[in-house]
Chains A and B, each alone.
Chain A
Amino acid sequence: MNSTDSKIMVGRLIDNISNYFQDKTVNIMEVCGTHTHVIGKSGLRQLLPENIRLVSGPGCPVCVTHDWEIDAYLGLAKTKDIIITTFGDLMRVPGSNGSLIQARQEGAEVEVVYSPLEALSIAQANPLKEVVFLGVGFETTSPGVAISIIKAKQNKIDNFSVFPMHKVVVPALEALLIDPEIKIDGFILPGHVSTIIGCEPYEFISVVHGKSGVITGFEPIDILQGISMILEQINRGVSEIEIQYLSGVVPKGNSSAREAVNRVFKPESAWWRGLGYLPESGLGVREAYSSYDAKAKFGVNIIKKELSHNNSICACGDIIKGKKTPDQCMLFRSACTPSSPVGPCMVSSEGTCAAYYYYEAYREDVYE
């Protein structure tokens, strides 16, 4: 599609979206951080009529990682002869006492990797050290981490372990749907996660809660189409789970990826920033692979402590739930910027605050 064609398509979709419910506000949550990023970067929000509100959800893996988990792995990073390996996003996320970047400045061994298999190679290259991979992310990331653990066991790489902080998307959606303060009419469901889990796990959204959901791709046009499909459902008075992202998602998902995850991990209750303690919303390492569980291997305890002043003002928790937008946080653009972030939503390129900081400042008053 050339740019003129796509502009015509965009125009049609916007006309279509504007024709629904002019008198009623419709809240649509984009669950996935990549969607938040695309919406900001393309300026899509500016095109929508005022009554269609896009609310960012809990789909940035770094953002939902709890302060207590961050403090726990930062403690581990300061241990002698441990090399921490991590995706880049986590480097700047502040805990109650510094970040991985600061830990590295103070002498901790921290390496940024792009896949857990790289972390495994680092373990092979450093047999006298322990290599810990920080396992964050949703269903898109956990299969690769599971495979790295399976490979470590097969190849007897015993100095490798994973610090498990993985989350699963569905319990978070459930928590949002039962919260009486959160009013969401429909969900733009995550394209990448759905390539793994398929459609079925989302059925409760429509069946139990009577809300619409559309699994959506990542081009601005895909997102507009997803919004249009949600509005069409509401207009017809139905609630279903549909797939807009047909090129990427099949209804059954990817069963071999799920098998790898099930082999290594088991559902476990987990702490989420903003959402709290949710049953079966995380992944713990199964008994058969327990020697690759960094928490067990190094006896790491999650210590639940009071938050420092700035961390307690930080609105990331409410932003993840869609209760607040970044400009409603006292710290946004003042104490909290991408170069000195207070909360994780400002750190990750997928975070709602970072997306707003870089991309949603189209109103001149922001810069006056």
Chain B
Amino acid sequence: MNNRVISLAHGSGGRLTQELIEEIIYPAFGNNGGNPLLDSALLTIDYKKIAFTTDSFVVSPLFFEGGDIGKLAACGTINDLAVCGATPLYISVGLIIEEGFSVELLKKILRSLASAAGDAGVLVVTGDTKVVERGNADGIYINTAGIGVLPQDVRVGPEMIEPGDLIFISGAVGDHGMSVLTKREGLSYQIPVASDCAPLNSLIKSLLETSGIKCMKDPTRGGLATALVELAEQSKTLMEISEERIPIRQTVSLGCDLLGLDPLYLANEGNLLIIAKADKESEIAAVLDNHPLGKEAKLIGRVVSYRDKGMVLLETPLGVKRILTMLEGEQLPRIC
């Protein structure tokens, strides 16, 4: 890492975040058996396979179309457990609240967190509360940690990915990122788009029943492009994606044109990237179609071959292929 200080881009979920984890954070703790870039740690305790994860939420604004920091804090941790194939069971809630924060808003956020956890069948079982001086936090930050159990027969992860596998995305791309950006920046024009923030565990449970799932990832910070490149690099494969098949709402696409952003790099919070066995295409498509979170799902590409340095090629609507890269730094809105 070349930087002397941490910049916002180190938290953007892209290449710099990966560098920070691999070069600074992971070496500090040594290799304890986990893969630092997976969404959860997979542990064995008394012959039981457990998934364990933690996530912190610092979103601004706290409330946006389609969700709020409470819902996000529940869904984020539930999804990190579920994409590893685990059944999420319990979460903790750590609150860091800024002095002066409205109790009414706090209640609203906690109700929303509880309701999202309840919908997902997950219990909030422990927590912690700290209050910091005015100016030392942006209203409220939430940390959640979660535990889930891994069914014995479930094996999913980047190491399972092979040439021939299919690549699906469960919903339209970039809704969460655009929704938050619209609200955060108080754009003078309205881009009517709601965050996709949702717990994915019930969709994932149905998908696992097809026994055709190889690997899953929720493309949060860094967006679909970054998630795909991560998986290609971890599985040492070449993937090909068709840009035309990627579902993107027109409002998101227009907003991106206006702001000079690329929807493939916008965050999603209730969207699932699925790598699946080629012979299970119709079963998986049917499961997606029958689930409320999978109605807009699309088969967007496939795994082509093994490749030492994993790579993703994107076929553009003109029919030519270019290399898809991870997000570098932050996406910044442009001038004209």
Contact = CB atoms under 8 A, between A and B. Distances in A.
B334 A339 contact: no
Task: Give the secondary structure class of B's interface.
Answer: loop
A339 B332 contact: no
Contacts of B121: none
B317 A42 contact: yes
A361 B323 contact: yes
B185 A114 contact: yes
A192 interface: yes
B93 interface: no
Which size bracket describes the interface of B in this complex?
A: 35 or more
A192 B318 CA distance: 23
Interface stretch (B7-15, B55-63, B204-212, B291-299): B7-15
A137 interface: yes
A179 interface: no
A242 to B, nearest CB: 23
A348 B325 contact: no
A88 to B, nearest CB: 4
B322 A360 contact: yes
Which size bracket describes the interface of A in this complex?
A: 35 or more
Highest count of chain B CB atoms <10 Å: which of A10, A44, A359: A359
A340 B3 CA distance: 9
Contacts, number: 117
B322 A114 contact: no
Nearest to B259: A114
B125 interface: no
Interface string A197-214: 000000000000000000
Nearest to A121: B186
A338 interface: yes
B8 A101 contact: yes
A83 to B, nearest CB: 16
A37 B331 CA distance: 14
Nearest to B8: A101
A118 B311 CA distance: 41
B45 interface: no
B230 to A, nearest CB: 15
B155 interface: no
Contacts of A61: 335-336
A300 B7 CA distance: 29
A339 B322 contact: no
Contacts of A328: none
Nearest to A101: B7
A220 B321 contact: no
B114 to A, nearest CB: 34
Interface string B177-191: 000000001111000
B2 interface: yes
Interface of A: 3, 6-7, 10, 34, 37, 41-44, 46-47, 61-62, 87-89, 91-92, 101, 105, 112, 114-115, 117-118, 136-138, 140-141, 192, 220, 337-340, 347-350, 357-362, 364, 366-368
7 contacts: A3-B317, A41-B262, A43-B316, A89-B260, A114-B333, A340-B2, A347-B332
